[in-house]
Structure 1
Amino acid sequence: MIIKTPSRLHLTLIDLNGSLGRIDGGVGLTLEKPALVLEMERNNGEISVEFQNRESIPVKVISDYEDKIKTSARRMMDYLELDGGYSFTICETYPSHSGLGSGTQLSLATAKLISEADNQQITVPEIANIVGRGGTSGIGVASFDKGGFIVDGGHPQDEKPDFLPSSASPASPPPIIARYDFPHDWKVVLVIPQVEKNVSGEKEVNIFQEYCPIPVEEVQQLSHLLLMKMMPAVLEKDLDGFGEAVNSIQNIGFKKVENQLQKPIIGDIMQLLRDAGAPGVGMSSFGPTIYAVNDNTQDIVSAARDALRDIGGSIIETRAQNSGAVLEHIH
């Protein structure tokens, strides 16, 4: 069996103040590329992980992928009370800890393959609960499930009393309060500069503790912008309106904190892409991936190449995916 998952952009968290009794909430977009392709076969022994193109994958990514696959597989096997083992082959990867949500896609893909092989009909939110994903943002889980442009409603504070990243939160995936098809003719250019990632793991936990709660005025400003500008722009296919909303959210609330903690080059590249004509440019999650939503990629890609000339990195031309992960049975 083979599964192919999309990637996702995390545009912003909505409410890290909590004055109404809920925290988190997120806005995100599912992408066609980069994609993760994972193949699985049963075996009689252990959980093994192979890579089709191991030599071209950084060692850190290999160990991260192996760890996530084995952890998720064991959790699903324990849940279903299964014995035996599985051989996993990773046919396509995308960078981990780059702001594209590889951890969630990998964990869900692994568990989905095992549950399908055992003929179990388990919903994607239930799978997320079993493997421990979606504790802060529901965007990755919903991207795997349905794709498209997604807004989630966060967590009640009695379930999640603390401000924490997904990696440190045991809360279940939040409810999806809006999911729209994203205009297919809008293009997305991803720019992933080769910079040492500033924030992940324990450092990420400390940032949530240090900067939250965010002032309620900023949460209100962001909510107004999402409800009365960004969401209608998606439905009305208003690229300029959507772009203005993306640009504005970079300077509000927790996204402002995420941007301020980056190396200056990240902000410089974002400005270069706007100057090259991209209507909307933002940073996904804690970065370093930058995205530019546009309808003319040529100038944007050219500006991105110039920006990466001295530091290195990758550029991916993609678009939204309005559907979730795809499973194929091999006979």
Structure 2
Amino acid sequence: MIIETPSRLHLTLIDLNGSLGRIDGGVGLTLEKPGLVLEMKENSGEISVEFKNPENLSAKVRADDEDKIKTSARRMMDHLHLEGGYDFTVHETYLSHSGLGSGTQISLAVGKLISDSAGQQLDAPQIASIVGRGGTSGIGVASFAKGGFIVDAGHNQREKPGFLPSSASTASPPPIVARYDFPQDWKVVLVIPHVEKNVSGPTEVNIFQEYCPVPLEEVQQLSHILLMKMMPAVLEKDLDRFGESINSIQSIGFKKVENQLQNPVIGEIMQLLRDAGAPGVGMSSFGPTIYAITDSPRDIVAVAREALAEVGGNIIETRAQNNGAVKRY
């Protein structure tokens, strides 16, 4: 069996104040590229991982992917009381810890392949709970399941009383309150500069503890933009209004914190892309991936190349994907 998954942008967390009894909440967008293509075959007793083109991947990416695959496989096997083993082949993958959600897609892909091969028809939220994903944001889980533009409602504080990233949270994936098809003629240009990621692991946990709760008025402002500007702009296919929404939320709430903690080159590139005419430019999750939403990608790509001349990096032209992962035999 082979499964193909999308990637995702995490546009913003909504409520890291919690005064109404819920925390987190998220807004995200599913992407066609980059993606994961993972193959699995059953064997008699071990979990093995190989890469179709290892020479094209860094040792860190291979190590991260192998660890996530083996960890997720063991968790799923333990949960379903399975014996034996599996051979996994990674045909395509993408950079981990870049703000594109590779960890969730890998974990869910492994869980889906194993559960289906065992005759268990588990849905994405069930698999996510088993393999330990979706503890803060539900965007990656919903992208795997359905694709599109997604808004999740966060967690009831009875289940998740504290402010934690997904890597440190055991909460179940949050409910999805809105999911829309995203305009296919809007392009997404990803700019991934080669700068050291400032936030991950224990550092990320500490940031949540240090900067939360965020001011209530900023949560209210963000919610107003989301409900009365960003979501209607998707439904009405209004690129300018959607872009304005993206630009506005970069300086509000927890997204403001995420941006402030970045290497200054991130903010500089974002402004260059706006000056080049991109209607909306933001940073996905804790970065370093920058995204530009545009209907004229050529000019944006040209400016991005110039911006990366000194630091280096990757540019990916893509668009939204309005369906989830696809399995084939």
Once residues 285 and 240 of structure 2 are traced to their aligned partners in structure 1, the CA distance between those partners, rounded to angstroms, is 22
Structure 1 counterpart of 2:312: 312
Offset, 1:56: 1.8
- Cα distance in 2 for partners of 1:100, 1:156 equals 25
Q: Which residue of 2 aligns with 1:270?
A: 270
The amino acid that maps onto 1:60 is: K
Alpha-carbon separation, structure 1, partners of 2:156 and 2:116? 31
Paired amino acid for 2:35:
A
Q: CA deviation at 1:63?
A: 1.1
Matched, 1:63 2:63: yes
The structural deviation recorded for 1:223 is 0.2
Please provide the CA RMSD for this pair. 0.5
Cross-structure match for 1:285: 285
Aligned equivalents of 2:46, 2:109: Cα separation in 1: 18
The AA in structure 1 aligned to 2:137 is S
**CA deviation map 1:76-104 (0-9, x unaligned):** 11111110000000000110000000000
Which residue of the partner structure matches residue 297 of structure 1? 297
Moved more, 133-142 or 52-61: 52-61
1:124 is matched with 124
Gap regions ≥5 residues in structure 2: none
For residue 141 of structure 1, what is the amino acid of its counterpart?
V
Structure 1 distance, partners of 2:47, 2:122, is: 21
Give the count of matched residue pairs: 329
Find the counterpart in structure 2 of residue 23 from structure 1. Answer: 23
Please give the residue correspondences for 1:1-331 in structure 2 after superposition, counting only pairs within 5 Å.
1-329=1-329
CA apart distance, 1:119: 1.6
Corresponding residue SS for 2:291: strand
SS at match of 1:8: strand
- 2: CA distance between counterparts of 1:251 and 1:273? 17
How many percent of aligned residue pairs carry the same amino acid?
Answer: 79
- Give deviations 1:95-121, integer Å, cap 9, x for gaps: 000000000000000010001111211
- Shift of residue 153, structure 1, vs aligned partner: 0.1
Code of the aligned partner of 1:259: N
Equivalent AA in structure 1 for residue 50 of structure 2: E
Q: SS at 2:71's partner residue?
A: helix
Partners in 2 of 1:153 and 1:249 — Cα distance? 17
The answer for unaligned runs of 5 or more in structure 1 is: none
* Structure-1 separation of matches of 2:260 and 2:192: 17
Superposed CA offset, 1:226-283 (max 9, x none):
0000000000000000000000000000000000000110000000000111000000
SS at match of 2:171: coil
In the TM superposition, residue 62 of structure 1 has moved relative to its aligned partner by 1.1
CA distance in 2, matches of 1:93, 1:124: 20
Does the residue aligned with 1:94 lie in a helix, a strand or coil? Answer: coil
Amino acid at match of 2:318: T
> How far apart, in 1, do the equivalents of 2:200 and 2:292 lie?
23
**C-alpha separation between the residues in 2 aligned to 1:197 and 1:264?**
12
Please state whether the residue corresponding to 1:178 is helix, strand or coil.
strand
Q: Provide the C-alpha distance between the structure 1 equivalents of 2:215 and 2:311, rounded to a whole number of angstroms.
A: 36
Separation in structure 2 between the aligned mates of residue 102 and residue 124 of structure 1, nearest angstrom? 15
Runs of 4+ with deviation above 3 angstroms: none
| 1:225 positional shift | 0.4
Measured in 1, the distance between the counterparts of 2:200 and 2:174 equals: 22
- The separation in 2 between residues aligned to 1:32 and 1:56, in whole angstroms, is 20
Q: TM-score, normalised by structure 2?
A: 1.00
Report the 3-state secondary structure (helix = DSSP H, G, I; strand = E; otherwise coil) of the residue aligned with 2:23. Answer: strand
Distance in 1 (CA, whole Å) between partners of 2:150 and 2:194 is: 28
Q: Secondary structure at the match of 2:183?
A: coil
- TM-score, structure 1 as length reference: 0.99
Output one character per residue of 1:302-324: Cα deviation in whole Å (capped at 9) or x when no partner: 00000001111000000000000
Q: CA deviation at 1:34?
A: 0.2
Q: Match of 2:323, as an amino acid?
A: S
Deviations 1:6-38 (A, max 9, x none): 000000000000000000000000000001000
